[in-house]
């Protein structure tokens, strides 16, 4: 599932059975945090094409950048935005979209500088404030990110993506009720935004409201059945509700879509253990351990110690 709005407004991852129950309880909270931290691409607030008849103008290069960005050709997109800015150094939209491309390339500090330049030119650019928020989120600078999203949602209360960003920052600051309110705003503004439902599901799970959490994940899956984060969250909620067979199916789905997810393999192993299928549990833990899960290594050591 791709959450990034690609450069235009509408283009838009103990012992016996009791031991495994404890394991999945611990990994459940980890999984919710992982989901909030972003198993997926995060929303981008990038502007779309502008009318231009000359490809050698600033707008012409900007439009080329939008096209490359939409195709996922980020380096080419960045080069085009740079050319647009050379021609017009005060082109706020180009600076903003440049920041979006830099963020996706992992150049977060450069992305921040680009967004700051867009804001310096036009302090009422909600897109730039939201993009700056996403970069700050990626840098775990939650308080600063929250301020940016608050500016963005004040200017564009119809931006579900900005509400999602604000919700995530609030969640990371342990302001869970406010986070839930923001996810609620996001689902009101755009009830077809899958990541809003998944984010809401994660926040409800953190509050121990697992039935409601499950409903949200299921709504997200209805919108995007290929989203591994939603399947993972659904599995966590089902495990918390002790519906282990159903939870196992969810974690299997995640490992099919993303076979390199150590957490999904770990949860799969825990659920197999909860169901008394110890051989399968060991195999899943072994995969998770190879993928770097320290919890899986600990689980294997426990199984070896118990002679299982």
Q: pLDDT by residue for the chain (308 residues), tens digit each?
A: 333 332 333 223 222 333 333 333 434 443 443 343 333 334 344 444 444 445 689 999 999 999 999 999 999 999 999 999 999 999 999 999 999 999 999 999 999 999 999 999 999 999 999 999 999 999 999 999 999 999 999 999 999 999 999 999 999 999 999 999 999 999 999 999 999 999 999 999 999 999 999 999 999 999 999 999 999 999 999 999 999 999 999 999 999 999 999 999 999 999 999 999 999 999 999 999 999 999 999 999 999 988 87
R_g of the chain computed on alpha carbons: 21
User: What are the structural domains of the chain?
Assistant: 46-144 (1.25.40.10)
* 238-242, Cβ contacts within 8 angstroms, sequence gap of 24 or more: 238/214, 239/24, 239/28, 239/267, 239/270, 239/271, 239/274, 240/25, 240/28, 240/205, 240/210, 241/210, 241/211, 241/214
Q: How far apart are CA 244 and CA 272, in angstroms?
A: 8
pTM beyond 0.75: the answer is yes
Distances in whole angstroms, Cα of residue 30 to Cα of each of 20, 171, 180, 267: 15, 14, 18, 11
Q: How far apart are CA 75 and CA 92, in angstroms?
A: 19
Of residues 123, 191, 198, 121, the one with CA closest to residue 167: 198
Structure tokens at 95: 């600076």
Q: How far apart are CA 144 and CA 132, in angstroms?
A: 9
Q: Given CA atoms 134, 135, 138, 143 in this order, what sign does their dihedral have?
A: negative
Of residues 172, 168, 204, the one with CA closest to residue 3: 168
Q: Residue 233: which residues within 8 A CB-CB, separation 6 or more?
A: 31, 32, 35, 198, 201, 202, 205, 213, 217, 220
């Amino acid at each position: 599932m791709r959450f990034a709005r690609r450069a235009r407004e509408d283009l838009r991852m103990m012992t016996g059975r009791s031991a495994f129950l404890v394991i999945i309880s611990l990994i459940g909270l980890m999984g919710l945090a992982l989901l909030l931290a972003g198993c997926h691409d995060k929303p981008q607030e990038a502007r779309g094409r502008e009318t231009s008849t000359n490809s050698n103008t600033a707008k012409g290069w900007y439009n080329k950048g939008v096209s490359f960005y939409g195709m996922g050709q980020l380096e080419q997109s960045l080069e085009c935005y740079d050319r647009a800015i050379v021609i017009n150094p005060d082109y706020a939209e180009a600076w903003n979209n440049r920041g979006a491309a830099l963020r996706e390339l992992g150049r977060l500090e450069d992305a921040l500088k680009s967004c700051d330049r867009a804001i310096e030119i036009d302090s009422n650019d909600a897109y730039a404030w939201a993009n700056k928020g996403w970069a700050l989120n990626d840098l775990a600078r939650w308080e600063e990110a929250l301020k940016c999203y608050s500016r963005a949602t004040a200017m564009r209360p119809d931006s579900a993506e900005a509400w999602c960003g604000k919700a995530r920052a609030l969640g990371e600051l342990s302001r869970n009720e406010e986070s839930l309110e923001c996810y609620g705003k996001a689902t009101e503004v755009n009830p077809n935004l899958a990541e809003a439902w998944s984010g809401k599901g994660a926040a409800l799970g953190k509050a121990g409201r697992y039935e409601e959490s499950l409903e949200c994940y299921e709504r997200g899956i209805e919108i995007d059945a290929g989203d591994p984060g939603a399947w993972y969250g659904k599995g966590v909620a089902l495990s918390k509700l002790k519906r282990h067979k159903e939870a196992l199916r969810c974690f299997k789905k995640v490992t099919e879509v993303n076979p390199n997810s150590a957490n999904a393999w770990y949860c799969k192993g825990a659920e197999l253990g909860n169901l008394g299928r110890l051989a399968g549990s060991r195999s899943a833990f072994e995969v998770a351990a190879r993928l770097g899960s320290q919890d899986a290594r600990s689980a294997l050591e426990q199984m070896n110690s118990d002679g299982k």
